[in-house]
Amino acid sequence: MKIYIDGKFYSKDEANISVFDHGLLYGDGIFEGIRVYNGKVFRLKEHIDRLYSSAQAIALNIGMTRDEMMNAVEYSVKVNEKQNAYIRLVVTRGSGDLGISPYLCKKATVIIIVGDISLYPEENYAEGIAIMTSSIRRISPDQFDTRIKSLNYLNNILAKIEAVQAGCLEAVMLASDGYVAECTADNIFTVKKGVVYTPHSYGSNLEGITRGAVMDAAKNLAIECRETKLSQYDLYTADEVFITGTGAEIMPVTKIDGRIIGEGTVGPVTVLLRKEFRNIAGIAG
């Protein structure tokens, strides 16, 4: 593995950043998780656009143009000779000192890691998974807009801990108003009477790249897809539920908080959307 740090490549054992980097000290930074399918980076422009939007929102000067960043990502994939991979692109405020002021950091740190992805077992896609509702609420947009994909993930991590302790792979997180926001690392969709629904991106959930690809898949299949408010009731009474994310792609959900969803099997709309998503992504099989 060859890891890109500020324009140079290092082995895994040699890849280091300063202990005074504000990404480490304060979580002051942003990131993207990106997939590579058959040697092609999936929706790279959309990921880079979101990265730079996050940077703009937190007043972070990345120090590279978008084209330079895209070239760096693609070159990192080439150097690592990966056909199918997961990319973690991280930009921190950079090295400063122990003070919290971002102005103590003179230059951002850019890190690109190209590695293997640990996928869900295939039986999860065939049978669906069980998820639960976390007691941890998603951060309210009047405090912090979670459309910024920042390094501050403790909110999600605490909800993930609850999920694991409950024997689930994922947890639904509610917004401060009690409506569904997203899962700890995935967006969530429901299907009711053939119509697909997903929560609005209104500041309490991330505008997922895979989420967008699934909405495109629905359009390609002439399946109506609406952004709306969803409650726990909507989840429990849905015909189908699935979650989407860079790692999960499209994962069926067949049980929520002990309640069987629909017929308790992977639904037909989910099957169609997953097939079309894989066509969009260029995934064989």
Annotated catalytic residues are: 149
Judged by phi (left if over 0) then psi (alpha if -120 to 50, else beta), residue 168 lies in beta
The residue written with tokens 């972070």 in the block is: 60
Residue ranges of alpha helices (H) inside 87-167 are 122-127, 154-165
What is the distance between the alpha carbons of residues 277 and 195, in angstroms, rounded to a whole number? 17
Distance, C-alpha 186 to centroid of its chain: 6
Strand duo 129-133 + 249-256: pairing: parallel
CA atoms within 13 A on the CB side of 41: 24
**All residues at 6 or more sequence positions from 100 whose CB lies less than 8 Å from its CB, including other chains:** 26
| Cα-Cα-Cα-Cα dihedral sign, residues 177, 183, 186, 190 | negative
**All residues at 6 or more sequence positions from 221 whose CB lies less than 8 Å from its CB, including other chains:** 272, 273, 276
- Show the CA angle centred on residue 76, arms to residues 74 and 82, nearest 5°: 90
Amino acid at residue number 198: T
